[in-house]
Amino acid sequence: MKINEIPYRTIWQSLDGGAVEIIDQTRLPHEFVALRLSTLRDAEDAIRSMQVRGAPLIGVTAAYGVALSMRHHASDAALQASCDLLLRARPTAVNLRWAVERMRTFLSLLPAGARAEAAWQEAARIAEQDVQINEAIGRHGLQIIRGIHQRKNDTVNILTHCNAGWLATVDWGTALAPIYAAFEAGIPLHVWVDETRPRNQGASLTAWELAQHGVPHTVIVDNAGGHLMQHGMVDMAIVGCDRVTATGDVCNKIGTYLKALAAFDNGVPFYVAMPTPTLDWTLQDGVREIPIEERSGDEVTYMEGLCDDGQVRRIRLTPAGSSAANYGFDVTPARLVTGLITERGLVAANAAAIRAMLHQDFI
Ligand code: MRU
């Protein structure tokens, strides 16, 4: 993807080879700042503080975190400790566990002296694979958008929640990949961007990256989606996901479930863009089994933004004595999901279809 016409990925190896660099997403959309991660602690802190966020990018950053730690200590004990530290950084997105376990399994088979270089290469392979997966999701999702456009013969209105764009991955994004592919194919489209309280990943990140790419979009408050659907102003919804069970229940940013309910009630197709590393084969019941991250109430009671004097400031929204609850994610039951757009094609959100997908080629 491009920022001011310059091609970027969200994470890249530094020119001196001693670190990785990321885009500090806590500074967007008002400032574009690259940040250097040189140690395991830097990587863990970037994930925990959400300087990097989005399920696939969290996984890739964790893989590089393991690689950075192997440069200093490559013993079995150091490998276990690094992996365990990273696994605790954020609980919900299963890509973190997927990437860390892949690094742990791969490296534990190697002698300690070979681990530093091998870890770096494996992390780079995970990053590259993420780009290929998302590009394929874009191609498959494009067919769905094209179908809607052919039937409607007018601008396709797509609603999305949170940020599942290229900022949430290494490149392309998951939910936004079909949108970018359709835009590039010349299909007229417009995106309704849920602001996504409390951290506003929609208003600050999705709006920013769509604007960079020139995709027509409108930011709406989180409560507006149902109204738009009732008035025929949404042709489809596409969201990302942080963990999907073997039965097709989808965990994604808080508020996704309410959009799925509104979509179901209004006959609006509700798609989930799902890279297969986001599938958790060990779980059957998303509502009961998926750990939901709870974050600081300060994210609800305070808000940050650009003031008219050009300074970014934090303001308090609520009375000083009011407490706040901050659940980061919710679960949308499979029955509300029209389909999972995966790198292997469109898959129904049920156990049999998901199992069958395993035997399909990555196309
Ligand atoms: O808390 P975040 O910003 O990491 O949550 C991100 C989301 O919920 C995304 O929709 C999800 O990770 C899909 S990313 C391709």
Of the candidates 53, 238, 93, 234, which has an alpha carbon nearest to the alpha carbon of residue 161?
238
Give me the pLDDT at residue 4, please. Answer: 87
> What pLDDT band is residue 247 in, cutting at 50, 70 and 90?
very high
Strands (E), 92-200: 156-160, 189-194
Give me the pLDDT at residue 257, please. Answer: 98
Instruction: Name every residue whose Cβ is closer than 8 Å to that of residue 135 and which is 6 or more positions away in sequence.
Output: 171, 172, 177
Ligand 1 center from residue 152 Cα (angstroms): 30
Give me the pLDDT at residue 307, please. Answer: 97
For ligand 1, what atom is nearest to the CA of residue 161? 10
Q: What's the pLDDT tens digit per position in 53-93?
A: 999 999 999 999 999 999 999 999 999 999 999 999 999 99
Give me the pLDDT at residue 360, please. Answer: 76
For ligand 1, what atom is nearest to the CA of residue 329? 8
Instruction: Name every residue whose Cβ is closer than 8 Å to that of residue 187 and which is 6 or more positions away in sequence.
Output: 145, 146, 149, 156
Give me the pLDDT at residue 5, please. Answer: 86
Give me the pLDDT at residue 291, please. Answer: 97
Q: Is residue 309 flagged as an active site residue?
A: no
The model's pTM: 0.97
Q: What's the pLDDT tens digit per position in 167-197?
A: 999 999 999 999 999 999 999 999 999 999 9
> What pLDDT band is residue 2 in, cutting at 50, 70 and 90?
confident
Average pLDDT for residues 115-141, to the nearest whole number?
A: 98
Q: What mean pLDDT is reported for the chain?
A: 97
Ligand 1 center from residue 123 Cα (angstroms): 20
Mutate to test the pocket of ligand 1, among 11, 179, 205, 241 (most ligand atoms within 8 A of CB): 241
Among the options 42, 235, 242, 280, which is catalytic? Answer: 242
For ligand 1, what atom is nearest to the CA of residue 173? 15
What one-character DSSP code corresponds to residue 348? -
For ligand 1, what atom is nearest to the CA of residue 240? 13
Helices 94-108 and 112-152 cross at an angle (nearest 10°) of: 150
**Cα distance between residue 355 and residue 284, in whole Å:** 13
Find residue 304's DSSP bridge partners. Answer: 314
Please give all residues whose beta carbon lies within 6 A of any atom in ligand 1, as ranges: 53-56, 93, 162, 164, 168-169, 174, 201, 240-242, 252-253, 328
Enumerate domains of the chain plus CATH numbers. 2-129 (1.20.120.420), 143-358 (3.40.50.10470)
> What pLDDT band is residue 363 in, cutting at 50, 70 and 90?
low
Ligand 1 center from residue 57 Cα (angstroms): 9
